[in-house]
Structure 1
Amino acid sequence: MTIDAPRAARGRPGDSAALAAAIGARFERLPLCRWQVMVRLIVGTATFFEAFDQLLIAYALPQLRTEWHLGTGHATALMTVGSIGLLVGALVSGRLADRVGRVKVIAGCIALASLCNLALTLCTSPEPFMAIRFVQGTAIGGEVPIAATFIAEITRAHQRGRFVLLFELVFPAGLTAGALVAYWLVPLLGWRWMFGLAALPALLCIAVVRCVPESPRWLADHGKHEKALATMASIEEKVERATGAPLPDLRPAPPAPPHGTGGLRELLSGRYGKRMLVIGLLWFTGYFANYGITSWLPTIYGARFHLDLSTALLYSTVTSCAGLLGCLIVALTVDRVGRRNTLIWCMAAAALCLLPLGLSAGSSAVGVLIWTSLAAVFLFGTNICLYLYTPELFPTRIRALGASVGGAMNRLGVILGPIVVGTIYADGALGTVFVTLAAVALVGSLTALAGAEETSGRTLEDVAP
């Protein structure tokens, strides 16, 4: 069994960059087995429930508007305050995860989000509800990009896209599950039971802390050399035990590049500054269009087309299920098609699906259902690809920070999309809503065409030294 430290790292114990490169080489020889699947399952279950939490407000809102006598302005505030929390959490979590570790941040965010769900069930007015949703948003916004970063760091380059995106499928699956549960539970028992159910994942904190190791790449990059080597050796031993065969021979580690300065200065300058600009625009446009549609669909079906609550929720659930299908298609094809082409063509196709709705001014509920569901296939596919693509673009020292800043742009889109749609829709201009969303999706496609780099099949250290 080959679990000793590579010579390059053993001969230069004070060189974090050399050790990080050596650990990257050791990950490249690990075959896929049940150990990686187990870690993906634990972290993925946590991400599933974070997604479940995120969109529950859209399905609770019709009842909350009636119970608390909310106008359009108050309803928009109730919907978007959690998204503001998502933005804050995304910004803070990256810096924190690059300093204290990926696993600690993931576990802390899970616990906080679950406690907030319990507190939401006790609310009797909009003000405390909004305050708690803001805090919960910081936890959800913090967990999701760091989980994606962690999974990328324990995965080899070969078929990394499929492995990571099959993990990331849990997020749209959580959105879909939230829609399905809300469709059944809200009319039957009310919105409080929905949030109470979402508090159960607090128990996952124990599994994350006990079963998920810290990223050896992060440990090496932060000078924790002995812990990095011990953790990597433990992972190799578990993989050998799971496969029942010796690991392949270790290839020489690539030369260690000069260690960068880290922090926002490095992230926003040079090659990484350009990448951050492109990925930020992609995150913003993808989620602006996505949440501009999904957050208002139940309300549009009810107020514009006079559908009853159950039917409005059912139609919205169909759109979420279509989005999940798009995510699965991208997960299975992204290594072959490439990240860049996936982003270009998915965003362009979403724009083409939304344009007919704009031109017909959303003339029927069935027409809205068909075209928004088709658009969701491509928008969900775009957004899940970004969770894979973003961590690949930055080195370990700023990977979580880059993912969290990208996530912050995602959250900015989540905030502004519903606000813009709500403002336009308040004037009754439903056609203009869909034309606007189509234009935003087209901007995303052109951004990917102009500036996205291909990362398929390349190691993390090769893409971002």
Structure 2
Amino acid sequence: MSTFDNVVAGRAAMDTAGATPGAIIARLERLPANAMQIRARVLIGAATFFDGFDVITIAATLPLLIHKWGLSPNQIGLLIASGAIGQLIGAFLFPALAEKHGRVKAIAWSSAVIGVTSIACGFAPTFEVFVLLRILQGLGLGGELPVAATYINEITRAHGRGRFVLLYEIVFPIGLLVSMALGAWLVPRFGWEIMYFVGGMPLVLALVLTHLVPESPRWLASRGRLPEAVQALGVFEASVKGPLPPPPVTQAAAFDEMVRQHPKRRMSDLFSAAYRKRTLAVATLWATCGFIQYGLSTWLPTIYKNFYHAPLQLALNLAVIGSVMGVLGSLASALLVDRLGRKPVIVWSFVLCALSLALAGVYHAASVYVVATFCALSLGLMASGFITAYVYTPEQYATSIRASGCGLGSAWLKIASFVAPMVVPHAIIGGDLSPAFYLLGVVPLIAAVTVHFVGIETKGKVLEALEA
């Protein structure tokens, strides 16, 4: 039994009599930032941190794995893409589990998969075993992020939701940064295995998460489990400093009317007329992020080392700069997304990312430092648009299909992640990197145009008011 099943708040608002989905939503929307939201953001953020850490670990260890097993270019592409294969499956599996069994349980289960398989990767005796383990690890990596983004969105009120969610999501690029920075220091000294042992930490989180974080009241209410929704909501309310205003009865009635007007959705509705344009915008957005992430960032240490003949330590350090820019771009997005809106942040981030990649192509024959500068800028700008997707995507869909919608977006990211490592090397013609950079630059430009013309603005709106 969860710790939160034993929490009893001595206030009338905890009474389940007369509880309705609209009343649950209204009480959530009146909540200021509170200690339990912060705890949830920290603990769920820890899971997301290690998701980012484990996703990019392959980039920090790839140069040594190439040497260890004498990998061919096709084997290198398969190794990078293997994680994406598992992530594609996980992007559907764990959101489906989250819709049926709850957000927090699905996050805990995915974290367990990530931790166990990461440790096992450190003991992999052959290339074939390593690839198999990366596929299995991908199940958890692909499933954790969309469910976590769904959960954090659902426990947050409309006012300031963008900033609250993105300040949580920033732990993902921080995980990327720490993985690259730690890899630059650990790998040359202790070997590639140590990175995968460190990446096993989510296993600890999986054991305690359901005891420390309450389930999403919105999800519980959508499933008709109103007493549990009231109890979970009471945990958040009990952590608020100072008195809360009375439950807004008229607002609750308005939310109940919204719930009645919108039928319960199924996964097939993601492709219905009501959601088709939203799903197109989401798919393009996530596919772009996957293509750039796996088509560029995971290759950077190898590109710097093999094409510009940079020593391993320098190649890793230059890749770390790209991760630093990713964190800065994510932070900028978190600060701007509630002021400017989701669409402007995404569109301009991707337009400028495309420009940076084009400049990398123009100056590809310059020194490694010039190319690394443009690559770092492009990764920072891509991260700004990418992290915004984690607040923008859950806002597109009804509670009953929110995790599935996020999973679908994540699946497009994984498909692109699988395709990019196979396609980008073939765009390198006779050692000329410029066609590869131009190819990479076209992708975010397409996404910017798509989001601009078919995406909706969601800033400052209650999730239920955004339902189609």
- TM-score by shorter chain over 0.5: yes
- 3-state SS of the aligned residue for 2:275? helix
Describe the shift of the 1:362–1:87 C-alpha distance in structure 2 as closer, same or farther (beyond 3 A).
farther
* Structure 1 partner of 2:424: 421
Is residue 278 from structure 1 mapped to residue 288 from structure 2 by the alignment? Answer: no
Size of the aligned set, in residue pairs, is 453
* Structure 2 partner of 1:25: 26
**Deviation digits for residues 379-425 of structure 1 (CA, Å, limit 9, x no counterpart):** 00000000110001101000000000011011112222222112223
In 2: Cα distance, 1:220 partner to 1:288 partner:
37
In 2: Cα distance, 1:405 partner to 1:392 partner:
14
Describe the shift of the 1:354–1:53 C-alpha distance in structure 2 as closer, same or farther (beyond 3 A).
same
* Structure 2 partner of 1:245: 243
* Contact kept in structure 1, 2:217 and 2:232, CA below 8 Å: yes
**Deviation digits for residues 430-452 of structure 1 (CA, Å, limit 9, x no counterpart):** 00011011111110110111111
In 2: Cα distance, 1:50 partner to 1:415 partner:
17
In 2: Cα distance, 1:203 partner to 1:348 partner:
40
- Residues 322-341 of structure 1 mapped to structure 2, 5 A cutoff: 322-341=325-344
* Contact kept in structure 1, 2:111 and 2:144, CA below 8 Å: yes
- Residues 184-223 of structure 1 mapped to structure 2, 5 A cutoff: 184-223=185-224
TM-score, normalising length: structure 1 = 0.94
In the TM superposition, residue 291 of structure 1 has moved relative to its aligned partner by 2.5
In the TM superposition, residue 201 of structure 1 has moved relative to its aligned partner by 2.4
In the TM superposition, residue 248 of structure 1 has moved relative to its aligned partner by 5.4
Is residue 303 from structure 1 mapped to residue 306 from structure 2 by the alignment? Answer: yes
* Structure 2 partner of 1:53: 54
* Contact kept in structure 1, 2:21 and 2:226, CA below 8 Å: no
In the TM superposition, residue 261 of structure 1 has moved relative to its aligned partner by 4.4
In 2: Cα distance, 1:247 partner to 1:135 partner:
48
In the TM superposition, residue 135 of structure 1 has moved relative to its aligned partner by 0.4
Q: Which runs of 5+ in 1 are unaligned?
A: 11-18
In the TM superposition, residue 361 of structure 1 has moved relative to its aligned partner by 3.2
**Deviation digits for residues 98-144 of structure 1 (CA, Å, limit 9, x no counterpart):** 11111111000111110001111111210000000000001110011
In the TM superposition, residue 153 of structure 1 has moved relative to its aligned partner by 0.3
In 2: Cα distance, 1:172 partner to 1:179 partner:
11
In 1: Cα distance, 2:13 partner to 2:422 partner:
54
Instruction: Tell me which amino acid in the other structure corresponds to 2:284.
Output: L
- 3-state SS of the aligned residue for 2:239? helix
In 2: Cα distance, 1:164 partner to 1:293 partner:
26
Give the root-mean-square deviation of aligned CA atoms: 1.5
* Structure 2 partner of 1:269: 272
* Structure 2 partner of 1:348: 351
In 1: Cα distance, 2:79 partner to 2:190 partner:
21
In 2: Cα distance, 1:2 partner to 1:44 partner:
32
Instruction: Tell me which amino acid in the other structure corresponds to 2:158.
Output: A
In the TM superposition, residue 260 of structure 1 has moved relative to its aligned partner by 2.4
In the TM superposition, residue 249 of structure 1 has moved relative to its aligned partner by 4.7
In 1: Cα distance, 2:365 partner to 2:116 partner:
40
In 2: Cα distance, 1:2 partner to 1:436 partner:
60
TM-score, normalising length: structure 2 = 0.94
- Residues 14-413 of structure 1 mapped to structure 2, 5 A cutoff: 19-239=20-240, 243-247=241-245, 249-251=247-249, 252-253=251-252, 254=254, 255=257, 256-413=259-416
* Contact kept in structure 2, 1:220 and 1:228, CA below 8 Å: yes
Instruction: Tell me which amino acid in the other structure corresponds to 1:355.
Output: A
In the TM superposition, residue 289 of structure 1 has moved relative to its aligned partner by 2.1
- Could you tell which deviates more after superposition, 366-375 or 265-274? 265-274
Between the aligned residues of both structures, percent identity stands at 37
In 1: Cα distance, 2:428 partner to 2:364 partner:
11
- 3-state SS of the aligned residue for 2:260? coil
- Could you tell which deviates more after superposition, 152-161 or 96-105? 96-105
- Could you tell which deviates more after superposition, 152-161 or 19-28? 19-28
- 3-state SS of the aligned residue for 1:270? coil
* Contact kept in structure 1, 2:16 and 2:226, CA below 8 Å: no
* Contact kept in structure 2, 1:81 and 1:133, CA below 8 Å: yes
* Contact kept in structure 1, 2:349 and 2:385, CA below 8 Å: yes
- Could you tell which deviates more after superposition, 282-291 or 26-35? 282-291
In the TM superposition, residue 212 of structure 1 has moved relative to its aligned partner by 0.7
In 2: Cα distance, 1:144 partner to 1:289 partner:
18
- 3-state SS of the aligned residue for 1:158? coil
